[in-house]
Structure 1
Amino acid sequence: MTPNDASCDLPLGFPRAVLWDMDGTIIDSEPYWIAAETPLVERFGGTWTHEDALQLVGNSLETSGAILQSAGVQMDIPDIVEYLTDEVLRQMAESGLPFRPGAQELLRSLRAAGVKTAIVTMSRRRMAQRVADLFTFDAFDAVLGGDDVARPKPFPDPYLAGAAALGVDIRDCVAIEDSPTGLRSAIDSGAVTLGVPHFVSLDGVGADALWPSLADTNASDIAALFTRVRQAEDVIR
Protein backbone atom coordinates (compact mmCIF):
# COMPACT_ATOMS: atom_id res chain seq x y z
CA MET A 1 0.00 0.00 0.00
CA THR A 2 1.48 3.36 -1.03
CA PRO A 3 1.26 6.66 0.88
CA ASN A 4 -1.09 7.93 -1.85
CA ASP A 5 -3.56 5.06 -1.41
CA ALA A 6 -6.92 6.46 -0.28
CA SER A 7 -7.49 3.35 1.83
CA CYS A 8 -4.23 3.82 3.74
CA ASP A 9 -5.08 4.21 7.42
CA LEU A 10 -3.62 7.33 9.00
CA PRO A 11 -2.00 7.15 12.44
CA LEU A 12 -4.27 8.40 15.23
CA GLY A 13 -4.42 12.18 15.50
CA PHE A 14 -2.99 12.95 12.07
CA PRO A 15 -4.64 15.43 9.69
CA ARG A 16 -5.92 13.94 6.47
CA ALA A 17 -4.06 16.53 4.41
CA VAL A 18 -1.45 19.26 4.56
CA LEU A 19 -1.91 22.19 2.17
CA TRP A 20 1.30 24.01 1.26
CA ASP A 21 1.88 27.53 0.07
CA MET A 22 4.77 27.45 -2.40
CA ASP A 23 6.80 30.68 -2.73
CA GLY A 24 8.70 31.27 0.48
CA THR A 25 7.31 28.11 2.11
CA ILE A 26 8.43 25.21 -0.08
CA ILE A 27 10.96 27.10 -2.17
CA ASP A 28 12.96 30.25 -1.51
CA SER A 29 11.77 31.93 -4.68
CA GLU A 30 11.07 35.44 -3.37
CA PRO A 31 14.55 36.68 -4.44
CA TYR A 32 13.74 35.46 -7.96
CA TRP A 33 10.51 37.47 -7.99
CA ILE A 34 12.31 40.58 -6.73
CA ALA A 35 15.02 40.10 -9.37
CA ALA A 36 12.28 39.99 -12.03
CA GLU A 37 10.36 43.00 -10.68
CA THR A 38 13.25 45.43 -10.27
CA PRO A 39 14.47 45.65 -13.90
CA LEU A 40 10.88 45.73 -15.11
CA VAL A 41 10.13 48.85 -13.08
CA GLU A 42 13.47 50.42 -14.01
CA ARG A 43 12.77 49.78 -17.71
CA PHE A 44 9.92 52.27 -17.42
CA GLY A 45 11.98 54.83 -15.49
CA GLY A 46 10.82 53.92 -11.99
CA THR A 47 12.58 52.72 -8.85
CA TRP A 48 11.88 49.54 -6.91
CA THR A 49 13.21 49.05 -3.40
CA HIS A 50 13.32 45.96 -1.21
CA GLU A 51 10.51 47.49 0.85
CA ASP A 52 8.44 47.93 -2.32
CA ALA A 53 8.97 44.28 -3.17
CA LEU A 54 7.79 43.14 0.26
CA GLN A 55 4.35 44.62 -0.52
CA LEU A 56 3.89 41.86 -3.08
CA VAL A 57 4.74 38.89 -0.84
CA GLY A 58 1.73 36.56 -0.64
CA ASN A 59 -0.47 38.62 -2.95
CA SER A 60 -2.11 37.41 -6.12
CA LEU A 61 -0.14 38.12 -9.26
CA GLU A 62 -2.95 40.37 -10.47
CA THR A 63 -2.68 42.48 -7.32
CA SER A 64 1.08 42.56 -7.74
CA GLY A 65 0.63 43.62 -11.36
CA ALA A 66 -1.56 46.54 -10.29
CA ILE A 67 1.07 47.63 -7.76
CA LEU A 68 3.74 47.47 -10.45
CA GLN A 69 1.54 49.56 -12.73
CA SER A 70 1.32 52.18 -9.99
CA ALA A 71 5.14 52.14 -9.88
CA GLY A 72 5.19 53.12 -13.54
CA VAL A 73 5.14 49.83 -15.48
CA GLN A 74 3.19 50.60 -18.65
CA MET A 75 1.94 47.11 -19.43
CA ASP A 76 -1.41 45.40 -19.06
CA ILE A 77 -1.73 43.34 -15.89
CA PRO A 78 -1.99 39.96 -17.73
CA ASP A 79 1.22 40.82 -19.60
CA ILE A 80 2.98 41.74 -16.34
CA VAL A 81 1.88 38.44 -14.80
CA GLU A 82 3.16 36.35 -17.70
CA TYR A 83 6.41 38.30 -17.91
CA LEU A 84 7.16 37.80 -14.20
CA THR A 85 6.25 34.11 -14.38
CA ASP A 86 8.54 33.57 -17.36
CA GLU A 87 11.40 35.43 -15.67
CA VAL A 88 11.14 33.45 -12.45
CA LEU A 89 10.98 30.17 -14.36
CA ARG A 90 14.06 31.23 -16.33
CA GLN A 91 15.98 31.94 -13.13
CA MET A 92 14.91 28.59 -11.68
CA ALA A 93 16.16 26.81 -14.79
CA GLU A 94 19.49 28.65 -14.64
CA SER A 95 20.12 28.66 -10.88
CA GLY A 96 18.17 25.66 -9.61
CA LEU A 97 15.33 25.22 -7.15
CA PRO A 98 16.20 26.65 -3.72
CA PHE A 99 14.20 24.66 -1.16
CA ARG A 100 13.33 26.18 2.19
CA PRO A 101 14.97 24.41 5.16
CA GLY A 102 13.13 21.23 6.14
CA ALA A 103 10.45 21.43 3.44
CA GLN A 104 11.52 18.35 1.48
CA GLU A 105 12.12 16.33 4.62
CA LEU A 106 8.72 17.20 6.10
CA LEU A 107 7.01 16.35 2.82
CA ARG A 108 8.72 12.94 2.76
CA SER A 109 7.62 12.30 6.34
CA LEU A 110 4.01 13.27 5.61
CA ARG A 111 3.90 11.05 2.54
CA ALA A 112 5.32 8.11 4.48
CA ALA A 113 2.58 8.59 7.08
CA GLY A 114 -0.13 8.52 4.39
CA VAL A 115 -1.05 12.21 4.65
CA LYS A 116 -2.30 13.80 1.43
CA THR A 117 -0.54 16.96 0.26
CA ALA A 118 -1.25 19.78 -2.17
CA ILE A 119 0.37 22.98 -3.36
CA VAL A 120 -1.93 25.98 -2.93
CA THR A 121 -0.17 29.00 -4.42
CA MET A 122 -0.95 32.34 -6.01
CA SER A 123 1.70 31.70 -8.65
CA ARG A 124 0.52 30.38 -11.99
CA ARG A 125 -0.31 26.68 -12.11
CA ARG A 126 2.32 26.15 -14.81
CA MET A 127 4.99 27.34 -12.40
CA ALA A 128 3.63 25.31 -9.48
CA GLN A 129 3.52 22.17 -11.63
CA ARG A 130 7.11 22.79 -12.73
CA VAL A 131 8.15 22.94 -9.08
CA ALA A 132 6.19 19.79 -8.23
CA ASP A 133 7.76 17.93 -11.16
CA LEU A 134 11.27 18.68 -9.90
CA PHE A 135 10.83 16.65 -6.71
CA THR A 136 12.60 13.31 -6.77
CA PHE A 137 9.62 11.63 -5.08
CA ASP A 138 5.83 11.76 -5.43
CA ALA A 139 5.41 14.85 -3.25
CA PHE A 140 1.89 16.10 -4.06
CA ASP A 141 -1.56 14.73 -4.79
CA ALA A 142 -2.78 18.03 -6.25
CA VAL A 143 -1.36 21.32 -7.52
CA LEU A 144 -3.44 24.51 -7.52
CA GLY A 145 -2.31 27.86 -8.90
CA GLY A 146 -3.72 31.34 -8.61
CA ASP A 147 -5.34 30.90 -12.01
CA ASP A 148 -7.39 27.97 -10.66
CA VAL A 149 -9.58 30.07 -8.33
CA ALA A 150 -11.89 33.03 -8.87
CA ARG A 151 -10.87 34.82 -5.67
CA PRO A 152 -7.24 34.89 -4.53
CA LYS A 153 -5.71 34.87 -1.07
CA PRO A 154 -6.64 36.42 1.43
CA PHE A 155 -10.05 34.99 0.47
CA PRO A 156 -10.45 31.40 1.70
CA ASP A 157 -11.20 30.07 -1.79
CA PRO A 158 -7.70 28.74 -2.61
CA TYR A 159 -7.50 26.56 0.50
CA LEU A 160 -11.09 25.40 0.18
CA ALA A 161 -10.31 24.44 -3.42
CA GLY A 162 -7.18 22.61 -2.27
CA ALA A 163 -9.14 20.52 0.23
CA ALA A 164 -11.82 19.81 -2.39
CA ALA A 165 -9.18 18.67 -4.89
CA LEU A 166 -7.98 16.14 -2.33
CA GLY A 167 -11.50 15.04 -1.39
CA VAL A 168 -11.10 16.00 2.26
CA ASP A 169 -12.87 18.35 4.68
CA ILE A 170 -10.94 21.58 5.22
CA ARG A 171 -11.19 21.01 8.99
CA ASP A 172 -9.13 17.86 8.51
CA CYS A 173 -6.30 19.91 6.99
CA VAL A 174 -3.24 21.81 8.14
CA ALA A 175 -2.15 24.78 6.00
CA ILE A 176 1.46 26.01 6.00
CA GLU A 177 2.14 29.63 5.04
CA ASP A 178 4.87 32.27 5.12
CA SER A 179 2.86 35.46 4.46
CA PRO A 180 0.11 37.38 6.30
CA THR A 181 -2.07 37.32 3.17
CA GLY A 182 -1.76 33.56 2.85
CA LEU A 183 -2.34 32.98 6.56
CA ARG A 184 -5.56 35.01 6.48
CA SER A 185 -6.76 32.85 3.60
CA ALA A 186 -5.95 29.66 5.50
CA ILE A 187 -7.47 30.89 8.77
CA ASP A 188 -10.72 31.90 7.11
CA SER A 189 -10.93 28.55 5.33
CA GLY A 190 -11.13 26.69 8.63
CA ALA A 191 -7.84 24.77 8.36
CA VAL A 192 -5.40 24.48 11.24
CA THR A 193 -2.79 27.09 10.38
CA LEU A 194 0.98 26.99 10.72
CA GLY A 195 3.01 30.10 9.98
CA VAL A 196 6.69 29.86 9.10
CA PRO A 197 7.89 33.46 8.60
CA HIS A 198 10.49 34.22 5.98
CA PHE A 199 10.63 37.75 4.54
CA VAL A 200 7.81 39.29 6.58
CA SER A 201 6.59 38.97 10.17
CA LEU A 202 3.54 36.84 10.94
CA ASP A 203 3.09 38.12 14.49
CA GLY A 204 -0.50 38.99 15.33
CA VAL A 205 -2.03 37.50 12.19
CA GLY A 206 -3.71 34.72 14.17
CA ALA A 207 -1.99 31.49 13.12
CA ASP A 208 -2.57 28.49 15.37
CA ALA A 209 1.22 28.18 15.62
CA LEU A 210 4.35 29.99 14.44
CA TRP A 211 7.49 27.95 13.89
CA PRO A 212 10.80 29.64 13.09
CA SER A 213 11.61 26.93 10.54
CA LEU A 214 10.52 23.55 9.21
CA ALA A 215 14.01 22.18 9.76
CA ASP A 216 14.11 19.10 12.02
CA THR A 217 10.32 18.67 11.90
CA ASN A 218 8.32 15.63 10.82
CA ALA A 219 4.78 14.36 10.38
CA SER A 220 4.42 13.67 14.10
CA ASP A 221 5.04 17.35 14.86
CA ILE A 222 2.28 18.32 12.43
CA ALA A 223 -0.03 15.74 14.03
CA ALA A 224 0.70 17.12 17.50
CA LEU A 225 -0.20 20.63 16.33
CA PHE A 226 -3.36 19.43 14.62
CA THR A 227 -4.50 17.43 17.66
CA ARG A 228 -3.77 20.25 20.11
CA VAL A 229 -5.78 22.79 18.10
CA ARG A 230 -8.77 20.56 17.49
CA GLN A 231 -8.88 19.32 21.09
CA ALA A 232 -8.76 22.90 22.37
CA GLU A 233 -11.70 23.77 20.12
CA ASP A 234 -13.66 20.81 21.51
CA VAL A 235 -13.06 22.05 25.07
CA ILE A 236 -14.31 25.54 24.15
CA ARG A 237 -17.45 24.10 22.57
Structure 2
Amino acid sequence: MGITAVVFDMDGVLIDSESMWAQVRHEYVDLKGGRWQPDSQQKMMGMSTQEWSAYLADDLGVAQPADEVAADVIDLMAARYAERVPLLPGAVEAVRRCADSWKLGLASSSPTTLIDLVLQQAGLTDHFAAVLSSEDVGRGKPAPDVYLAIAQRLGVEATECTAVEDSSNGLASAHAAGMRVIAVPRPDYPPSTEALAHAAVVIDDLDQLTAEVVTGS
Protein backbone atom coordinates (compact mmCIF):
# COMPACT_ATOMS: atom_id res chain seq x y z
CA MET A 1 0.00 0.00 0.00
CA GLY A 2 2.97 2.32 0.31
CA ILE A 3 3.45 4.91 3.03
CA THR A 4 0.22 6.11 4.66
CA ALA A 5 1.56 7.71 7.85
CA VAL A 6 4.63 9.52 9.16
CA VAL A 7 5.67 9.12 12.79
CA PHE A 8 7.97 11.67 14.38
CA ASP A 9 10.14 11.29 17.44
CA MET A 10 10.22 14.51 19.48
CA ASP A 11 13.46 14.95 21.44
CA GLY A 12 16.34 15.46 19.02
CA VAL A 13 14.03 15.54 15.99
CA LEU A 14 11.53 18.34 16.59
CA ILE A 15 13.26 19.97 19.56
CA ASP A 16 16.91 20.36 20.53
CA SER A 17 16.34 19.04 24.03
CA GLU A 18 18.88 16.29 24.66
CA SER A 19 21.46 18.72 26.06
CA MET A 20 18.72 20.23 28.25
CA TRP A 21 17.76 16.78 29.57
CA ALA A 22 21.43 16.06 30.23
CA GLN A 23 21.96 19.30 32.14
CA VAL A 24 18.80 18.94 34.24
CA ARG A 25 19.49 15.31 35.10
CA HIS A 26 23.18 15.93 35.80
CA GLU A 27 22.42 18.81 38.16
CA TYR A 28 19.71 16.75 39.85
CA VAL A 29 22.00 13.75 40.35
CA ASP A 30 24.72 15.98 41.81
CA LEU A 31 22.20 17.71 44.09
CA LYS A 32 20.97 14.37 45.41
CA GLY A 33 24.45 12.99 46.04
CA GLY A 34 24.54 10.62 43.10
CA ARG A 35 27.36 9.87 40.65
CA TRP A 36 26.82 11.11 37.08
CA GLN A 37 28.77 9.20 34.43
CA PRO A 38 30.10 10.48 31.07
CA ASP A 39 27.79 8.16 29.12
CA SER A 40 24.71 8.58 31.32
CA GLN A 41 22.71 10.75 28.92
CA GLN A 42 23.55 8.55 25.94
CA LYS A 43 22.32 5.50 27.85
CA MET A 44 19.02 7.18 28.78
CA MET A 45 18.11 8.34 25.26
CA GLY A 46 15.00 6.37 24.34
CA MET A 47 14.31 5.05 27.84
CA SER A 48 10.78 5.42 29.16
CA THR A 49 10.13 7.58 32.22
CA GLN A 50 10.01 4.50 34.42
CA GLU A 51 13.29 3.23 33.00
CA TRP A 52 15.38 6.40 33.26
CA SER A 53 14.09 7.32 36.72
CA ALA A 54 15.02 3.83 37.94
CA TYR A 55 18.44 4.24 36.30
CA LEU A 56 19.02 7.51 38.19
CA ALA A 57 17.90 5.95 41.47
CA ASP A 58 19.54 2.54 41.16
CA ASP A 59 22.60 3.02 38.95
CA LEU A 60 23.57 6.63 39.62
CA GLY A 61 22.84 6.57 43.33
CA VAL A 62 20.04 9.13 43.72
CA ALA A 63 18.67 8.29 47.15
CA GLN A 64 14.97 8.67 46.33
CA PRO A 65 12.26 6.36 45.02
CA ALA A 66 12.14 6.27 41.22
CA ASP A 67 8.64 7.78 41.04
CA GLU A 68 9.81 10.80 43.05
CA VAL A 69 12.89 11.14 40.85
CA ALA A 70 10.68 11.14 37.76
CA ALA A 71 8.31 13.76 39.17
CA ASP A 72 11.16 16.05 40.22
CA VAL A 73 13.00 15.89 36.90
CA ILE A 74 9.82 16.29 34.83
CA ASP A 75 8.89 19.39 36.85
CA LEU A 76 12.35 20.85 36.18
CA MET A 77 12.02 20.16 32.45
CA ALA A 78 8.53 21.65 32.34
CA ALA A 79 9.89 24.85 33.91
CA ARG A 80 12.55 25.02 31.17
CA TYR A 81 9.98 24.50 28.41
CA ALA A 82 7.72 27.14 29.94
CA GLU A 83 10.53 29.61 29.37
CA ARG A 84 11.39 28.41 25.85
CA VAL A 85 10.71 25.35 23.71
CA PRO A 86 13.94 24.70 21.78
CA LEU A 87 12.42 23.96 18.38
CA LEU A 88 14.88 22.77 15.77
CA PRO A 89 15.10 24.65 12.47
CA GLY A 90 12.51 23.44 9.99
CA ALA A 91 10.59 21.36 12.55
CA VAL A 92 7.27 23.19 12.40
CA GLU A 93 7.42 23.44 8.61
CA ALA A 94 8.25 19.72 8.24
CA VAL A 95 5.29 18.69 10.39
CA ARG A 96 2.90 20.93 8.50
CA ARG A 97 4.28 19.78 5.15
CA CYS A 98 3.87 16.10 6.02
CA ALA A 99 0.41 16.67 7.49
CA ASP A 100 -0.78 17.77 4.05
CA SER A 101 -0.09 14.30 2.64
CA TRP A 102 -0.14 11.72 5.45
CA LYS A 103 -1.57 10.88 8.84
CA LEU A 104 0.90 11.98 11.50
CA GLY A 105 1.87 10.28 14.74
CA LEU A 106 4.30 11.21 17.49
CA ALA A 107 6.13 8.45 19.37
CA SER A 108 8.28 9.95 22.11
CA SER A 109 10.18 8.82 25.16
CA SER A 110 9.20 12.04 26.93
CA PRO A 111 6.31 11.89 29.40
CA THR A 112 2.88 12.90 28.14
CA THR A 113 2.85 16.14 30.14
CA LEU A 114 5.98 17.40 28.36
CA ILE A 115 4.82 16.22 24.94
CA ASP A 116 1.56 18.13 25.34
CA LEU A 117 3.41 21.24 26.52
CA VAL A 118 5.81 21.22 23.57
CA LEU A 119 3.12 20.62 20.94
CA GLN A 120 0.87 23.29 22.41
CA GLN A 121 3.59 25.92 22.52
CA ALA A 122 4.73 25.02 19.00
CA GLY A 123 1.18 25.21 17.66
CA LEU A 124 1.36 21.63 16.37
CA THR A 125 -1.18 19.78 18.52
CA ASP A 126 -3.86 19.62 15.83
CA HIS A 127 -1.45 18.26 13.21
CA PHE A 128 -1.05 14.88 14.92
CA ALA A 129 -3.73 12.22 14.64
CA ALA A 130 -2.13 10.24 17.46
CA VAL A 131 0.45 11.01 20.16
CA LEU A 132 2.02 8.42 22.44
CA SER A 133 4.65 8.37 25.17
CA SER A 134 6.73 5.28 25.81
CA GLU A 135 5.71 5.61 29.48
CA ASP A 136 2.31 4.30 28.35
CA VAL A 137 3.63 1.11 26.75
CA GLY A 138 5.51 -1.88 28.08
CA ARG A 139 9.07 -0.97 27.19
CA GLY A 140 10.95 2.09 26.03
CA LYS A 141 13.11 2.31 22.93
CA PRO A 142 14.99 0.34 21.49
CA ALA A 143 12.06 -2.05 22.01
CA PRO A 144 9.47 -1.54 19.23
CA ASP A 145 6.51 -1.17 21.62
CA VAL A 146 5.83 2.56 21.21
CA TYR A 147 6.05 2.41 17.42
CA LEU A 148 3.80 -0.63 17.15
CA ALA A 149 1.28 1.05 19.46
CA ILE A 150 1.28 4.35 17.56
CA ALA A 151 0.64 2.54 14.27
CA GLN A 152 -2.32 0.80 15.88
CA ARG A 153 -3.69 4.13 17.11
CA LEU A 154 -3.30 5.59 13.63
CA GLY A 155 -5.21 2.63 12.21
CA VAL A 156 -2.40 1.55 9.86
CA GLU A 157 0.15 -1.21 9.63
CA ALA A 158 3.61 -0.40 10.96
CA THR A 159 5.03 -1.30 7.55
CA GLU A 160 2.99 1.55 6.06
CA CYS A 161 4.75 4.12 8.27
CA THR A 162 7.88 6.19 7.91
CA ALA A 163 9.54 7.05 11.22
CA VAL A 164 11.80 10.07 11.69
CA GLU A 165 14.42 9.46 14.39
CA ASP A 166 17.79 10.70 15.66
CA SER A 167 19.14 8.38 18.36
CA SER A 168 20.53 4.86 18.28
CA ASN A 169 17.71 3.53 20.45
CA GLY A 170 15.07 5.34 18.42
CA LEU A 171 16.37 4.10 15.09
CA ALA A 172 16.52 0.54 16.40
CA SER A 173 13.00 0.83 17.83
CA ALA A 174 11.38 2.03 14.61
CA HIS A 175 13.28 -0.54 12.54
CA ALA A 176 12.23 -3.36 14.88
CA ALA A 177 8.61 -2.28 14.42
CA GLY A 178 8.99 -2.72 10.66
CA MET A 179 8.80 0.94 9.71
CA ARG A 180 10.75 2.75 7.00
CA VAL A 181 13.30 4.77 8.98
CA ILE A 182 14.67 8.22 8.23
CA ALA A 183 17.64 9.30 10.36
CA VAL A 184 18.27 12.93 11.29
CA PRO A 185 21.41 12.58 13.46
CA ARG A 186 22.26 15.22 16.04
CA PRO A 187 25.99 16.02 16.15
CA ASP A 188 26.11 16.30 19.95
CA TYR A 189 24.65 12.80 20.49
CA PRO A 190 25.30 10.94 17.22
CA PRO A 191 23.82 7.47 16.71
CA SER A 192 26.10 4.49 16.29
CA THR A 193 27.12 3.21 12.88
CA GLU A 194 25.15 0.04 13.59
CA ALA A 195 21.99 2.03 14.34
CA LEU A 196 22.40 4.24 11.27
CA ALA A 197 22.43 1.09 9.15
CA HIS A 198 18.71 0.73 9.99
CA ALA A 199 17.91 3.97 8.16
CA ALA A 200 16.70 3.95 4.58
CA VAL A 201 17.91 7.54 4.26
CA VAL A 202 20.10 9.81 6.40
CA ILE A 203 19.35 13.55 6.16
CA ASP A 204 21.09 16.57 7.65
CA ASP A 205 17.99 18.48 8.75
CA LEU A 206 14.22 18.50 8.44
CA ASP A 207 14.27 20.80 5.42
CA GLN A 208 15.41 17.69 3.52
CA LEU A 209 12.35 15.69 4.61
CA THR A 210 10.67 15.74 1.21
CA ALA A 211 7.92 13.50 -0.13
CA GLU A 212 10.54 11.51 -2.03
CA VAL A 213 12.53 10.91 1.15
CA VAL A 214 9.41 9.89 3.10
CA THR A 215 8.21 7.38 0.50
CA GLY A 216 11.47 6.28 -1.10
CA SER A 217 10.01 6.92 -4.54
> If the length of structure 1 is used for normalisation, what is the TM-score?
0.82
How much has 1:43 moved relative to structure 2?
Answer: 1.4
Residue 126 (structure 1) aligned with residue 116 (structure 2)? no
Please state whether the residue corresponding to 1:201 is helix, strand or coil.
Answer: coil
Structure-2 residue corresponding to 1:136: 123
Q: What aligned pairs does 1:84-95 form with structure 2 within 5 A after superposition?
A: 84-94=73-83
Aligned Cα RMSD in Å? 1.9
Structure-2 residue corresponding to 1:7: none
How much has 1:174 moved relative to structure 2?
Answer: 0.3
Deviation by residue 1:58-94 (Cα, 9 ceiling, x = unmatched): 2222222232222220111111112111111110101
Distance of 1:29 and 1:106 partners within structure 2: 18
Residue 212 (structure 1) aligned with residue 204 (structure 2)? yes
How much has 1:200 moved relative to structure 2?
Answer: 2.3
Distance of 2:192 and 2:95 partners within structure 1: 22
Structure-1 residue corresponding to 2:175: 187
Residue 35 (structure 1) aligned with residue 23 (structure 2)? yes
**Structure with max Cα Rg:** 1
Unpaired runs of 5+ residues, structure 2, are none
Structure 1 pair 14–101 and aligned structure 2 pair: CA distance change class (3 A): farther
Distance of 2:163 and 2:65 partners within structure 1: 32
Structure-2 residue corresponding to 1:83: 72
Distance of 1:216 and 1:50 partners within structure 2: 32
How much has 1:217 moved relative to structure 2?
Answer: 3.2
Please state whether the residue corresponding to 1:194 is helix, strand or coil.
Answer: strand
Distance of 2:135 and 2:52 partners within structure 1: 14
Higher alpha-carbon deviation: 207-216 or 179-188: 207-216
Deviation by residue 1:14-66 (Cα, 9 ceiling, x = unmatched): 62111111111111111221121122111133343553322212222222223
Distance of 1:202 and 1:219 partners within structure 2: 26
Structure-2 residue corresponding to 1:221: 213
How much has 1:216 moved relative to structure 2?
Answer: 4.0
Structure-2 residue corresponding to 1:67: 55
4+ long deviations beyond 6 Å: none
Higher alpha-carbon deviation: 99-108 or 167-176: 99-108
Distance of 2:212 and 2:85 partners within structure 1: 27
Structure-2 residue corresponding to 1:197: 185
> If the length of structure 2 is used for normalisation, what is the TM-score?
0.89
